[in-house]
Structure formats: structure tokens, C-alpha cells
Amino acid sequence: MSLTAGGVLAKSTRSGLRIGGMTQTSKPAVLVTGGAGYIGAHTAKALAERGFTPVVYDSLVSGFREAVHWGPFVHGDIRDRVALAEAIETHHVKAAIHFAGLIEVGRSVARPDLFWDVNVGGTTTLLTTLREHGVGRLVFSSSAAVYGQGGRGPLETIGETAEKAPASPYGDTKLAAEWLIQAQCRAYGLSAVALRYFNAAGADPSGMIGEGHEPETHLIPLAIAAALGDGKPLTVFGKDFDTPDGTCLRDYVHVADLADAHVAALERELADGAFEAVNLGAGEGKSVLEVIDAVGAALDRDVPKIVGARRAGDPASLVANPARAAALLGWTPRRSSLARIVEDALRWERAPKYGVGLRGASARRGSLTGP
Ligand code: UDP
């Protein structure tokens, strides 16, 4: 299938919607692997709002059935070629957004074999199945973990051509999956965009969907839990980094902004065989202590904390240069101030619509309802 119809950044038109510059009649179906997960569910919502039908394909190993609202749901493993093929055929899929995979950096150090099997093996299976069904457009969920620290100074922002030095097997698998996708683009004309997320955070303002990991390891939900739970302190992982306050710098970007970028990548005109890698970040580094302060300010109370050892695989800083996302996708984050991210995260943490992990554990430990 050619996706090379002319045009600039595609928009919905009177006659239909566009994928890769090609106009489609009524509600084209987009396979969203991992669409019951955190960023996947927000992207499914953004797709539906733009008139696409998101076909969520998810194993529910870490996703939530309660997060699927905006299109059909197919229960399946990303390595299951038969189930993937059936989903594509049944729902007349025209393009894919691929989130399904394992994400816990620490676990990847202990189980690299599993991460390569699911993240790289799963991507191989998906690519084969897309090829067999003539699906010519893919958006891939990649990560700033492909960069690691490399030879970069802690205050340098990261452009897409920066050195790739993943600090964990997780980062290795994301980079390997990108290579595989790029090779498939060259081999048969697939066009693809790899979106390298910096720190996804926040929740949809509707309160319908939000973050839910088991176990929860991310800073913002853990800081909220520390403030609103039973006083168990948050551990700051290292205060001896070469950064202004000694704690790690990260680029926090609102999950709803990330979701919008996926729709823009799907709609972007690209030549057959094109592969693009794009950073998604706000372009501003916030330290762990700054994030903790923002949570404390939003709650008007202290976040109990202790300083502990560094966490394995944590680079001192990961801050995007987001210029390419603006140039290629017309995307700039609109909701990614720390205050807005924390406000939306807090709304979700107080009233989650599904969930285990943090909320389950927190509910057992104490209340997430006040102040
Ligand atoms: N962090 C921390 N304590 C925690 C969780 C995270 O100090 O309990 C730090 C972590 O070392 C990193 C930053 O917060 O510098 C963001 O971590 P997170 O796990 O949220 O995202 P990551 O950067 O690993 O994708």
C-alpha cells in the first residue's frame, strides 16, 4: 500500500481522515498494541478524538481492561502472530502504533532474555504480520533510554543524532527494535516514526485514565503516595550527581501531549521506506528535588523523603532537544508544565478508575483522599 500521496502535515478533511498523507474514508482502524497501558490508553483516546478507530491489542499482563473505552479490544500477546493477524484482518487495520513491551529498567537488568524476547521478538512478529497484511505505516514507542549518558555533559540537551549508549538491557531492546524497524522500512517500503519519550507523567484531565504500574516505580506517583500515604518516605536515588542540586535531571512531559504526538506521527506525510526518530520532551530538565517540591506545593504539605543510594542504570540527566518534533510533526507540548502535570496526576491518584499497585498498596497503607 502506498502512503505517499502528496501534502504537508495531514489533517482531517471533509472527505475523510488521513494516514501518512493518504485520505481514508470514515474512521480508519489503527492497531494499538499495548493500548491498555499508560501511554497507549491516552493515545487510543486521542486517536478516537481525531476520528480514528483504535483497535487495542493487549495481553493485560501490565495493561488494564478498564482503560479501554474508545474502540474494540483484542486480548493477545505481541509474540502471537496468529492473534495479531486475526486482529488486523477482522478490524481492517490500516496502520499500527506499537507500545506493547516490558518497561521496568531494573527488571531488564535481571531478565535481559525476557526483555529481548518480548520487546525485540515481539516487534519482529508484529513487523512480519504488518508486512503480510500490507499495513504500511507504523509509529513505534521508543525511549530516551536509547541515549544513556554517553559522553554528554549533564546540562546538555539531547538531539536525535546524539550518541546512543543505553544504560540498561531495556534501552538496548528499544534501540534494537528501532534498528529492526528501520531495516524493514528499507526492505519493503514501510514508513515509520520512532518516538523517543522522555519522562511521561500526569494523567488525562477527564480522570478516566491514568498511570497504573505494578509495581509502581515512577517518581511522581511515589511522591504523591509518600505525601498522602502513611508517611513512609520517598527515597531520593542519589544526591551526588554532577547536576545543580546533585539529583537527577529529567524532562517531564504530559502523557496527553505524548498522545497527541502519536496522532501527528500517524498523519505525517512520509515517503515509502522513510524512517524517522523523534524526541518527545518539553526541553527542560527538572531535578528530583524540584519534582518533590512541586508535589509538596500542590498538596500544601511536605513530602517525607530520605536520600538513598543511586539506582542502577540512572543517567545523571536526560533532557530533550525537542526541535525536531516541532519541525517534523508540528508538535509542541501544551500541558507539560510541572504544575499542570502534578495537578492532573493528583486528580487521578485521588480517584483512580482502575488499578492495583500503588493505589491498591496505598489504600491498604492509608488514605489517598485528602487534603
Ligand atoms: N526517583 C527517585 N526515587 C524514586 C523514584 C524515582 O529518586 O522513588 C528518581 C530516579 O532516580 C530518576 C527520576 O526520579 O532520576 C525519575 O525516575 P522515574 O522512575 O520516574 O523515571 P525514569 O527516569 O526512570 O524513566
pLDDT in tens, 235-246: 999 999 999 999
Above 50 in pLDDT, residue 319?
Answer: yes
Cβ 232 under 6 angstroms from ligand 1:
no
Q: How far is CA 364 from the centre of its chain?
A: 29
Residue whose Cα lies nearest atom 5 of ligand 1: it is 219
C-alpha 36 – ligand 1 centre gap (Å): 23
Q: How far is CA 352 from the centre of its chain?
A: 19
Residues 117-139 pLDDT 10s: 999 999 999 999 999 999 999 99
Cβ 235 under 6 angstroms from ligand 1:
yes
Which CATH superfamily groups domain 219-251+284-318+334-365?
Answer: UDP-galactose 4-epimerase, domain 1 (3.90.25.10)
**Arithmetic mean of pLDDT, 313-326:** 93
Tell me what pLDDT residue 195 has: 98
Helix (H) or strand (E) holding 290: helix 288-299
- Does residue 233 contact residue 226 with C-beta atoms inside 8 Å? yes
Query: Using 50, 70 and 90 to split pLDDT, how confident is the model at 106?
Result: confident
Kindly give the number of the ligand 1 atom that is closest to the alpha carbon of 314.
Answer: 11
Query: Using 50, 70 and 90 to split pLDDT, how confident is the model at 355?
Result: low
C-alpha 334 – ligand 1 centre gap (Å): 23
**Arithmetic mean of pLDDT, 268-281:** 97
Cβ 295 under 6 angstroms from ligand 1:
no
CATH 3.90.25.10-classified regions of the chain: 219-251+284-318+334-365
Above 50 in pLDDT, residue 288?
Answer: yes
Spatial distance between the Cα atoms of 315 and 248, rounded to a whole number of angstroms: 7
Kindly give the number of the ligand 1 atom that is closest to the alpha carbon of 199.
Answer: 25
Q: Name the residue among 284, 285, 278, 283 with its Cα closest to residue 261.
A: 278
Exposure on the CB side of residue 111, measured as CA atoms within 13 A: 10
Class of CATH domain 17-202+252-280:
alpha beta
Tell me what pLDDT residue 150 has: 80
Residue 251 phi, psi (nearest 5): -110, 100
Above 70 in pLDDT, residue 185?
Answer: yes
What is the identity of the amino acid at 310? R
Question: Would the pTM count as exceeding 0.85?
Answer: yes
Spatial distance between the Cα atoms of 102 and 316, rounded to a whole number of angstroms: 23
Per the model's pLDDT, the better-predicted residue between 42 and 229 turns out to be 42
CATH 3.40.50.720-classified regions of the chain: 17-202+252-280
∠ CA 319-160-197, nearest 5°, is 55
For residue 81, what is its C-alpha cell?
A: 502472530
Tell me what pLDDT residue 363 has: 40
Per the model's pLDDT, the better-predicted residue between 333 and 359 turns out to be 333
**For residue 183, what are the β-bridge partners?**
none
Tell me what pLDDT residue 371 has: 32
Active site members: 170
Residue 257 phi, psi (nearest 5): -65, -45
Question: What's the chain's average pLDDT?
Answer: 89
Q: What are the CA-CA distances from residue 357 to residues 168, 225, 348, 365 (Å)? A: 24, 11, 14, 12
Q: How many residues are there in the chain?
A: 371
